[in-house]
C-alpha cells in the first residue's frame, strides 16, 4: 500500500494529542479515532495511486468519500461503524482545515449512512431484584456469591459501569454515602450509594478471606488478585438462564435499569446524566425513549379500547 506522507502522519498525531488534552479522551476512544483516520488515509493512498499528503487531502471530493464508504461496506461494516469512522474523519478534517487554512468541504458535507439507534435494554424492576437474588446461588463459596451480589448491586444501585465498580479499592471501604468515581476519559463524578449497596459490600467484606490492603482491589478473584469482569458476566449469565431472562440481561443492563427506573420514578434527566457520567445529555435522553415505550406498552395493555379490540 502506498504510504501516507510524514507531514500528514504528524498532523494526525498532533490532532490526537490535542483531542486528548482538551477532551480527556479515554485510551480506547483515542485508539479507535487513530485507526479510523489512518485507515481512511491508507485507503486514499491506495485509491489515488500515489503518496497521500496534505495536497491530496485538500483535494478530496465527495466521490472519494463515497468510494471509501463503499469499500467499508464490502468489508461488511455496518452503518453504525461507518458513521463512527466518518465522524472521526470529520473531526480531523475540521481540525486540519483550521490549522492549514482551508475548508474540507467534501469531508464535512459527506452524509453518514442512516442507522436505527439502539435503545438501552433495561430489565423490569422485579426481574432486576430476582436476578440479584439468583446470584447468591451461583457459587459454592459464600464469599464469592456475596462478592458477585455486591458488584451487581453497585451497578444497579449506583448506575456504575462494571469497570468503575471494579476500580474501587480497599481504601474506599467501608463505602460512604457518596463515592467519587473516575469514569471514561478520566472524568470524575460524585455518586450517592444506596443502603442496599453499602450493606451488600460490607457483607462481602465480612466473608472475604483475603487481608485488607488499602491500595489493593476491593473486589478479589479466588486467588486474591483483582476480580476479572468476565467472572461477573459468567455469574450473571448463569443467573439469567436459571430465571429464563433474555441474553440482554448483562452487567451493563443493570446500569440501564438504574437510569430507566430512576426516570420512571420522576428523576430529573440532567441529574441522571450527572449520575451516569454522560458527557452529552443526548446520550441520557435515550432513556426517555425507553420509558415512553414502556408507558405505551402499559397503555396498550390497560386501555379499555385496546382491551375491547383484543376480545
DSSP helix, strand, coil percent of the chain (3-state; round to 5): 65, 5, 30
Q: Which residues contact 198 (CB under 8 A, 6 or more apart)?
A: 174, 175, 177
Active-site entry in 90, 184, 187, 294 = 184
Active-site entry in 198, 240, 256, 278 = 278
User: What is the CB neighbour count within 10 angstroms for residue 236?
Assistant: 26
Residue 278: active-site member: yes
Residue 30: active-site member: no
Residue 161: active-site member: yes
**SS3 state of residue 239:** helix
Q: Could you list the beta-strand ranges (E) of the chain.
A: 178-182, 188-192
**What is the H or E stretch that residue 133 is in?**
helix 125-134
How far apart (Å, rounded) are the C-alpha atoms in residues 284 and 269?
7
Phi/psi at 198 (5° precision): -65, -40
- The distance of Cα 311 from the centroid of its chain, to the nearest Å, equals 43
Active-site entry in 161, 198, 240, 261 = 161
How many helices and strands, by DSSP H and E, does the chain display? 16, 2
DSSP letter for 189, please. Answer: E
How far apart (Å, rounded) are the C-alpha atoms in residues 131 and 152?
9
The CA distances from residue 102 to 48, 60, 86, 108, 242, in Å, are 21, 12, 19, 12, 60
Active-site entry in 198, 255, 256, 261 = 255
Residue 261: active-site member: no
Q: Determine whether 221 is exposed, middle or buried from the number of CB atoms within 10 Å of its CB (0-12, 13-18, 19+).
A: middle
Side-chain half-sphere exposure of 220, counting CA atoms within 13 A: 17
Catalytic positions are 161, 184, 252, 255, 278, 287
Amino acid at each position: 500500500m502506498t504510504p501516507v506522507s510524514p507531514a500528514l502522519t504528524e498532523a494526525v498525531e498532533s490532532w490526537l494529542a490535542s483531542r486528548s488534552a482538551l477532551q480527556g479522551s479515554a485510551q480506547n476512544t483515542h485508539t479507535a479515532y487513530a485507526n479510523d483516520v489512518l485507515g481512511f488515509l491508507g485507503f486514499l493512498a491506495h485509491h489515488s495511486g500515489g503518496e497521500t499528503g496534505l495536497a491530496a487531502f485538500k483535494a478530496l471530493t465527495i466521490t472519494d468519500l463515497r468510494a471509501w464508504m463503499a469499500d467499508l461496506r464490502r468489508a461488511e461494516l455496518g452503518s453504525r461503524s461507518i458513521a463512527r469512522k466518518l465522524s472521526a474523519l470529520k473531526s480531523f478534517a475540521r481540525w486540519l482545515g483550521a490549522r492549514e487554512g482551508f475548508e474540507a468541504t467534501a469531508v464535512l458535507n459527506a452524509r453518514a449512512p442512516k442507522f436505527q439507534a439502539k435503545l438501552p435494554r433495561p430489565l423490569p424492576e422485579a426481574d432486576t431484584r430476582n436476578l440479584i437474588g439468583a446470584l447468591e446461588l451461583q457459587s459454592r463459596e459464600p464469599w464469592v456469591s456475596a462478592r458477585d451480589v455486591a458488584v451487581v448491586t453497585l451497578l444497579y444501585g449506583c448506575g456504575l459501569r462494571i469497570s468503575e465498580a471494579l476500580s474501587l479499592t480497599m481504601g474506599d471501604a467501608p463505602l460512604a454515602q457518596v463515592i467519587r468515581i473516575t469514569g471514561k476519559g478520566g472524568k470524575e463524578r460524585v455518586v450517592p450509594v444506596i443502603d442496599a449497596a453499602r450493606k451488600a459490600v460490607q457483607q462481602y467484606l465480612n466473608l472475604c478471606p483475603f487481608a485488607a490492603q488499602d491500595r489493593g482491589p476491593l473486589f478479589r478473584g479466588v486467588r486474591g488478585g483483582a476480580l476479572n469482569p468476565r467472572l461477573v458476566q459468567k455469574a450473571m449469565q448463569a443467573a439469567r438462564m436459571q430465571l429464563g431472562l433474555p441474553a440482554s440481561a448483562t452487567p451493563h443492563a443493570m446500569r440501564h435499569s438504574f437510569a430507566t427506573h430512576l426516570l420512571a420514578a420522576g428523576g430529573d434527566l440532567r441529574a441522571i446524566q450527572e449520575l451516569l457520567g454522560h458527557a452529552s445529555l443526548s446520550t441520557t435522553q435515550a432513556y426517555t425513549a425507553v420509558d415512553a415505550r414502556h408507558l405505551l406498552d402499559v397503555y396498550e395493555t390497560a386501555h379499555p379500547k385496546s382491551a375491547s379490540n383484543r376480545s
